[in-house]
Structure 1
Amino acid sequence: MSSTYASAPAPVEGDAPGGRGLARLAYRFTAISEKWFPDAFVFVALALVVVVVANLATGAQPLEIADAFGKGFWTLIPFTMQMALVAITGYVVATSGPCTRLIARLASVPTSSRGAVAWVAFITMSASYLNWALSLVLGGLLVRAIARRTDIKVDYRAAGAAAYLGLGATWALGLSSSAAMLQANPASLPKSISDISGVIPLSQTIFLWQSIVMLLIIAAMAITIAYFSAPQGAQIKTAEDMGCDVTEANTKEQKQTRPGEWLEFNFILPALVVLLAAGYAYVEFSTNGVLATISNLNNYNFFFLMIGLLLHGNIRSFLTAVTKAVPTTAGVIIQFPFYAAIAALLTQVPGSDGVTISHHISHLFVSIANTSIFPVVIGVYSSILGFLVPSGGGKWIIEAPYVLQTAADLNAHMGWAIEVYNAAEALPNLINPFWMLPLLGVLGLRAKDLVGFCFTQLIFAFPLVMFLLWVLAPAANP
């Protein structure tokens, strides 16, 4: 995914809601980030250089460093493909005919301007629990559908920011959490991480009661802020005011033009494939149970893919959606191998004292934290790093060795260490334009149009999340 942004003009009085305060500050911050922040891949390359230099500083041999880089590079290929499919399947489901009709129904629910913004926040955060890509596309289409209504006047910027809350508030605490899914799948787990923690099931991460309570509290607060921060009256800027065309796209159904295309436009083959998939689902659910089945990332993607095929109803429509979704996975495909190599350099290259960089970092955390404040220390660190490395899965691969090692050294709950990462990981998304790109493409807006509202969310979310990470921390691993 490209993250090259157009330069935004400096904000002026009236650009931000209310024209002053936190939102105006956020607009200035976003204008600077859009102008000066390079593509996300630059941060990957810089991280690699920093880790290599750190290895050299510890006395590691150059050829050992180069060997670890090459051998570690391809160790995450299964997980890379799995994460790419998370994005593809979410997009395919969101753009299907039934989902489009569902969006039209959802758009008719709210009866007020602020209520519409809060409703978008609720829907997108609910969708993000299932799939983060689904929440982005569905949220953008929902905002466009609401903007087409003539009976209520809704601020297009505030609604667009609400559509981003799935990524900025809750996605990492849901079923598409890269970190939780990676730790629960032994086939995808790099040896550098499994040697420290072993496999950690979802029952010890996203399905901890503490994690669910934290999710509900964060979502409730985000919806409340979305409601009260939405402009009213003369402050409202509609899609028309923003120069955005929200008319329904040309959805003229593709037609069969030659006999050989008959099976491409027929429901027979999709029905047979989905029927076979249903049989597999029955066997898996009856044998292993629902939780164990969906904990397997291959199963998770498999079910979403089959649902997408069923909802599209024919092969041509399904493949068209897949083709449109593939470009959104470019960042994942090219960056994850570098993250794997960085993880290898952190965990597999000993310095002159025989200790790896990962152990040096974990010892640093142990020296400044204890079991009580460990969640807050890791949460603050991870949220700051997340602005520079905007990839939940890739960043976890880098952080996991020393975060989990620190948890082990402090006898802290391993699963909660992952949820600390997950909750903190979502926070920088609120002011990082990287993951906004798919949504911005749907809405026809720029990052600066949304971040004023998202920054307001961050001001409240950061202290709340840190408090919850501390107060809800479970006891040490059973």
Structure 2
Amino acid sequence: MLSSIADRVSKGVQRYLPDAFVIAVLLTLFVFIVGFFTNPAEPITLFKSFGDGFWTYLAFTMQMVLLLMTGMVLAAVPFVRKGLESLSALANTPNKAYILTFVVTAIAYYINWGLAVVVGAILVREIGKRNQKAHFPLLVAAAYSPTVLYTAGLSSSIGLTVATEDHFLEDMMGVIPTSDTIFAPSTIIIFAVLFVTMPIFICFMAPKTNIKPYLANEMNEKKQSKEPETADTPAQKLERTPVLGITIGAIGLIYVVSEFINGRDLDLNIINLLFLSLGLILHGSLGQFGEAFKEASTSTSPIILQFPFYAGIIAVLASSGLGQMIIDGMISVANKETFDIFTYWTAGIVNMLAPSGGGQWALQGPLQVPAGMELGVEPATIAMAVGWGDAWTNLIQPFWALPILSVVGLHIRHIMGYCFLLSIWVGFVTTILLYFLY
């Protein structure tokens, strides 16, 4: 029955869901229209807040782009890529294909969501070529759906933000160590339950007929390998020597290790430097690293294009009072026992308009944290509830699916039907666990 439902939902989504950039523009217009009704006396305020907010998160955007690109470059290291290709040979049945894709990509998401994008893309392409019985859109959905787990991982935007000194809410909630957020027992339990149940749900959605196999896309299948040039000139020798990459990468690793020894917690900057340094060392030369970085950059263009629009939306949500209305409405019916659940639901709703863990935290944190603390809720718990809600509706907000889709050559409408049904399951399970664990 679930397979039949998934098929109908998928067909409906493919018919009516527009491009992700169109969705971003429609959401922008939506918050403007609602904002005019919310604050009709000063409509110019909305235009000003949109323009000012459009560039507010440039630094954070750069951090997110680097997080994606350094992860993708690391996944492009030859021995990592070959390992993924060998791993794909294990998926000799459709169900094995879906489960293997989910499990491997979920592990990658735990390490770094940028790494997971390329790990998932390479894996589904290799599995798709070897297993023509697997439904390729569902295979891609299986690679993308572990995005709901990233909030419990090492690249958790909110978890790392609140662990970073001088973060914007430090005066209110202090610096929260990752031992209280992403490494807390409650977080680990939620992660484990979703990790086990989601691939089972995906297998039940698998279509029995009309299987769409992998179709080679010339753009995606095109090999970028070139014949290595003979290092005749001094300039070419510098580009191809492994010494420079290993040396500068080692400098970065020494810094990272020394910071951990001195008690520094994980944050966005340290994660970026760690993956950048590993990539420099493992790629063998600055020329090879630069080529991998150049190829990775093509998948970041939708983020660079759309992120400012969502930053503008966040600013309009704040200036119009719409964001506060959503949050206040939830808080008004919450108590200490249910605050985290309502925070989770609210974060899921807000994420549809502002799909960025860090950007959403900038909007929701200043309102959610003092309200929760007044009820006696721990700040770390509030942060993780927002994080789980943000990750939950990433399944049905196309923004973060853009990089992997650009790599595999599919459109958001091809996978969104399956992601929609998964979001129902994830929302149900996480709500129950939040109630009992937090």
Give the TM-score normalised by the residue count of structure 1. Answer: 0.80
Structure 1 residue 221 corresponds to structure 2 residue 200:
no
Distance 1:286 1:439 in 2: 35
Q: In the alignment, which residue of structure 1 is the partner of 2:67?
A: 86
Flag the 1:369–1:335 CA change in 2: closer, same or farther, 3 A: same
Task: Decide whether the 8 Å contact of 1:139 with 1:164 is kept in 2.
Answer: yes
Instruction: Give the gaps of 5 or more residues in structure 1.
Output: 1-15, 474-478
Deviations 1:320-352 (A, max 9, x none): 2222333444455566667677777888x8x9x
Structure 2 stretches of 5 or more lacking a match? none
Identify the residue that residue 268 of structure 2 maps to in structure 1: 297
Whether contact under 8 Å (1:274, 1:306) holds in the other structure is: yes
User: What corresponds to 2:283 in structure 1?
Assistant: 312
Deviation, structure 1 residue 360: 6.9
Question: In the alignment, which residue of structure 2 is the partner of 1:33?
Answer: 17
- State the shift of 1:183 in Å: 1.6
1:129 paired residue number: 110
* 1:283 aligned to which of 239, 258, 263: 258
Aligned length: 436
Asked whether the equivalents of residues 20 and 399 of structure 2 are also in contact (C-alpha less than 8 Å), the reply is no
Is the aligned partner of 1:166 residue 2:166? no
Match of 1:238 among 213, 234, 246: 213
Equivalence for 1:250: 223
Q: CA deviation at 1:464?
A: 0.8
What corresponds to 1:476 in structure 2? none
Partner Cα separation in structure 1 for residue 174 and residue 59 of structure 2: 18
Pair 341,22 (structure 1): closer, same or farther in 2 beyond 3 Å: closer
Q: Which moved more, 1:26-35 or 1:83-92?
A: 26-35
Structure 1 residue 184 corresponds to structure 2 residue 155 = no
Deviation, 1:391, is 2.5
Provide the secondary structure at the position in 2 that maps to 1:238: coil
How do 1:332-347 and structure 2 match up within 5 A?
Answer: 332-333=303-304
Distance 1:461 1:30, change over 3 A: farther
CA contact (8 A) 2:152 2:187 kept: yes
Taking only the aligned residue pairs, the percentage that are identical comes to: 30
Q: Is the Cα–Cα contact under 8 Å of residues 148 and 247 in structure 1 kept in the other structure?
A: no
User: Is residue 2:249 matched to residue 1:274?
Assistant: yes
Contact 1:185 1:296 in 2 (8 A): yes
Structure 1 or 2: larger helix share?
Answer: 2
Change (3 A) 1:216 1:252: same
1:404-415 alignment runs, 5 A limit: 404-415=369-380
Q: CA–CA distance in 2 between the matches of 1:39 and 1:275?
A: 43
Does residue 140 of structure 1 match 2:140?
Answer: no
- d(CA) in 1 for partners of 2:211, 2:176: 47
Q: Please, which of 374, 379, 382 is the counterpart of residue 417 of structure 1? A: 382
Deviations 1:89-109 (A, max 9, x none): 112112221221111121122
Q: C-alpha separation between the residues in 2 aligned to 1:175 and 1:341?
A: 28
Which amino acid in structure 1 is aligned with residue 243 of structure 2? I
Alpha-carbon offset, residue 400 of structure 1: 1.6
Cα distance in 1 between the residues matched to 2:20 and 2:284? 45
Matches within 5 A, 1:326-405: 326-330=297-301, 332-333=303-304, 364-405=329-370
One-letter amino acid matched to 1:38: V
Deviation at 1:143, TM superposition (A): 1.0
Question: What is the Cα deviation at residue 427 of structure 1?
Answer: 2.3
Q: For 1:171, give the aligned amino acid.
A: Y
Aligned to 1:370, the other structure's residue is in SS state coil
Q: Tell me the amino acid that sits aligned with residue 239 of structure 1.
A: Y
Shift of 1:318: 1.2
Of 411, 419, 426 in structure 1, the residue corresponding to residue 391 of structure 2 is 426
Match of 1:156 in 2: 136
Which stretch of structure 1 is more off in the superposition, 299-308 or 96-105? 96-105
Pair 1:455-2:428 in alignment: no
Which residue of the partner structure matches residue 262 of structure 1? 237
- Pair 1:325–1:45, CA change in 2 (3 A): farther
Letter of the 1:270 counterpart = G
Q: Letter of the aligned partner of 2:252 in structure 1? A: A
Does the C-alpha gap of structure 1 residues 330 and 197 become closer, same or farther in structure 2, counting only changes over 3 Å? farther
Counterpart contact for 1:153–1:238, Cα < 8 Å: yes
Structure-2 residue corresponding to 1:323: 294
Conserved? CA contact 2:299–2:407, under 8 Å: no
Contact 1:184 1:202 in 2 (8 A): yes
For the residue of structure 2 that corresponds to 1:103, the secondary structure is helix
**CA drift at 1:297:** 1.9
How far apart are 1:247 and its partner, in Å? 8.7
Can you list the C-alpha shifts for 1:127-151, whole angstroms capped at 9, x where unaligned? 011111221221111011112226x
Displacement after TM superposition at 1:44 (Å): 4.8
Could you give the per-residue CA deviations for residues 401-431 of structure 1, whole angstroms, max 9, x where no partner exists? 2122221222212111121122222222223
